[in-house]
Amino acid sequence: MKKKSQQKRILLKLSGEALVEEGKRGITPFALKDIAKEIASASKDCQLAVVIGGGNIWRGVRDGGGIIDRVNSDNMGMLATVINALALQSALEDINIPTRVLTSINIYELAEAFIRRKAVRHLEKGRVIIFAGGTGNPFFTTDSAAALRASEIGADILLKATQVDGVYDSDPRKNPKAKLISRITYGEAISKGLQFMDTAALALCMENNLPIQVFNLHKKGNIKAAVDGKKIGTIIY
Ligand code: UDP
């Protein structure tokens, strides 16, 4: 979709963990306030859409414990993203950032339906969009939702804020010698099986020539730096 304005259009993927302090679950006001401030400062000079995950509340079949089937577990995960989106909306509005929550699942008493043209209109009017409900389908993740929505709205880049500094050649939490990669192609990332994003999401970005930047969520100012085109973390192109 062609943009009318010269402003960059950015899709920011935040995992649900962005709304909670490390080691905890659910939503904590302190973390929520912090991330809202980071988003507010990043949103000043760009059109910003956020895809929020749900893993801080419910992580699909992993939390189902063998009792809740895959589809219901995934549906619960999608509902968790709606809860997070509403929390983030309130936190942003609390600091005077206009927002709209658009959902992929029918829950229209709480939020608008995702309609691509409406989403673009909101961005053009300077509202921060929060995409909730993932793709609206079980068996997917919010990474795939981020790749999909970014492609649909014609985003210039997908920013993925994570728990570590970027993409490593092995898991830095398990291997202290893991090396941070500054640039890597989609093909290399897929063939090396790097675990920073699910393969379906990565493949969609590759097909649509959508660059991805992965960086540390916990470093203050990082979201703004990535929006401004600073070379932090890892670029996948
Ligand atoms: N989910 C889903 N379809 C989607 C997006 C999410 O079924 O399109 C479910 C899935 O169970 C997933 C959960 O919602 O585990 C929470 O999303 P995700 O794990 O991507 O959140 P994050 O880890 O980013 O917080």
Written as tens digits, the pLDDT of the chain (237 aa) is 556 678 999 999 999 999 999 889 999 999 999 999 999 999 999 999 999 999 999 999 899 899 999 999 999 999 999 999 999 999 999 999 999 999 999 999 999 999 999 999 999 999 999 999 999 999 999 999 999 999 999 999 999 999 999 999 998 888 999 999 999 999 999 999 998 999 999 999 999 999 999 999 999 999 999 999 999 999 999
How many angstroms does the Cα of residue 106 sit away from the middle of ligand 1?
A: 17
Ligand 1 pocket mutation pick from 13, 14, 58, 78 by most atoms within 8 angstroms of CB: 78
Looking up tokens 């993927």 gives 13
DSSP bridge pairs for 12:
50, 159
Query: Residues 201, 144: contact at Cβ < 8 Å?
Result: yes
The structure's pTM equals 0.96
Measured between alpha carbons, how far is residue 221 from residues 72, 91, 153, 170 in Å? 37, 18, 25, 26
The C-alpha angle with vertex 156 and arms to 155 and 161, in degrees rounded to 5, equals: 85
| Nearest atom in ligand 1 to 145's CA | 8
Q: Respond yes or no on whether ipTM tops 0.90.
A: yes
Query: Residues 181, 169: contact at Cβ < 8 Å?
Result: yes
Q: Where are the domains of the chain?
A: 8-236
Assigned CATH for 8-236? 3.40.1160.10
Contacts of the segment 168-172: beta carbons below 8 A, 24+ positions apart: 168/194, 169/194, 171/195
pLDDT score recorded for residue 100:
98
In sign, the C-alpha dihedral spanning 56, 221, 227, 165 is negative
Ligand 1 pocket mutation pick from 24, 51, 57, 59 by most atoms within 8 angstroms of CB: 59
Pocket around ligand 1: residues whose beta carbon is below 6 Å from it?
15-17, 53-55, 59-60, 73-74, 77-78, 80, 134-135, 137-138, 140-142, 144-145
pLDDT score recorded for residue 2:
56
How many angstroms does the Cα of residue 78 sit away from the middle of ligand 1?
A: 6
Q: Within its chain, how far is the Cα of 108 from the centroid?
A: 22
| Nearest atom in ligand 1 to 75's CA | 7
pLDDT score recorded for residue 3:
63
Query: Residues 91, 83: contact at Cβ < 8 Å?
Result: no
Encoded tokens for 129: 């969009």
